[in-house]
Chain A
Amino acid sequence: MLELYEGGLNVPEIITRWYAEEAQFNYGAYIPFIGTVREEDGIDGLSFDVYEPILNGWFDAWQSKAEALGAKLKMAHSRGDVLVHQSSYIAAVFSPKRRVALETIEKFVEDFKVSAPIWKYDLRGGQRLYAADRSTPILGAGILGEKQ
């Protein structure tokens, strides 16, 4: 399940609802990872663009990997502006046992950072500035710049 929201996430509602949704499926472990916007370098917040068609395909491929391990993934992310101390990202894994849950959440979140088609901007002084120095080219990027 992949959920996108305008602005900051309602974290208590989302993680409580996810807990309730899976409560009867005999999962022994539920690990949510919550990403919160920190006050740093004078920013007012962050802002996000999301390209949903490819994000959906990326998430579905991860869900298939998780299912093969008996686990299930959920994810919520913001579009648009998210102010300092609000949250923009929740990833969660449900699994029968802790080891699969711990390993899956780490791999999922790390791959998310370098593969999910989401672009981050700093909000500063009324401007929306692309966070180029914190961004990572997607694996296989650069083919259009190759010498022919």
Chain B
Amino acid sequence: MITIEFLGPIQKAPLTLEASSLRDVAEVLKQDSEMTQWLENCAVAVNDTLVASLDTPLKSGDKVSLLPPVCGG
């Protein structure tokens, strides 16, 4: 099982699910109407490292984080 956490303004509790790559995560989240507005603009981190490919492999225990648009300062 992997855990998905939603950071900042995404008001959503963490999810746990079976996934072998980010492609699986994308498929699940695309079915979730709450997430429609976020998938196009969120960055993704696996175990706190930003990643750039849907083919990023996942293994049990991994943490996937969704980071919406930022504005510090």
Contact = CB atoms under 8 A, between A and B. Distances in A.
Interface of A: 35, 48-51, 53-54, 57, 77, 88-89, 109, 112-121, 130-132, 134-146, 148
Q: How large is the interface on B (under 10, 10 to 19, 20 to 34, 35 or more residues)?
A: 20 to 34
B72 A141 contact: no
Contacts of B41: 137, 141-142, 145
Contact of A88 (B39, B40, B70, B73): B73
B42 to A, nearest CB: 6
B8 A144 contact: no
Contacts, number: 118
Chain B residues touching A, majority SS: mixed
A6 B34 CA distance: 30
A148 B25 CA distance: 12
Nearest to B9: A130
B4 to A, nearest CB: 10
Given A51-B7, A117-B7, A143-B44, A136 B71 contact: yes
A115 B50 CA distance: 11
Contacts of A120: 71-73
Given A141-B42, A144-B26, A53 B68 contact: no
B52 interface: yes
Given A117-B7, A141-B42, A132 B26 contact: no
Contact of B71 (A135, A140, A144): A135
Interface string B16-44: 00000011011101100000000111111
Interface in B35-73: 39-45, 48-54, 65-73
